[in-house]
Chains A and B, each alone.
Chain A
Amino acid sequence: LAKTTQPISMDSYEGQEVNITCSHNNIATNDYITWYQQFPSQGPRFIIQGYKTKVTNEVASLFIPADRKSSTLSLPRVSLSDTAVYYCLVHNTNAGKSTFGDGTTLTVKP
Chain B
Amino acid sequence: GAGVSQTPSNKVTEKGKYVELRCDPISGHTALYWYRQSLGQGPEFLIYFQGTGAADDSGLPNDRFFAVRPEGSVSTLKIQRTERGDSAVYLCASSLRTSGSIYEQFFGPGTRLTVL
Contact = CB atoms under 8 A, between A and B. Distances in A.
Contact of A96 (B40, B41, B56, B91): B56
Interface residues of A, number: 22
Contacts of B105: 44, 46, 98
B1 interface: no
B59 A43 contact: no
Given A44-B107, A46-B104, A46-B106, A99 B40 contact: no
A43 B42 contact: no
Contact of A102 (B41, B91, B104, B106): B41
Contacts, number: 64
B31 A96 contact: yes
Contacts of A96: 31, 33, 48, 50, 55-56, 98-99
Interface residues of B, number: 31
Interface string B52-76: 0001101100000000000000000
A81 interface: no
B93 to A, nearest CB: 7
A98 B46 CA distance: 10
B102 interface: yes
Interface string A43-66: 111100100000000000000000
Cβ-closest 8 pairs across A and B = A43-B107, A100-B42, A96-B98, A46-B104, A96-B48, A100-B43, A49-B102, A102-B42
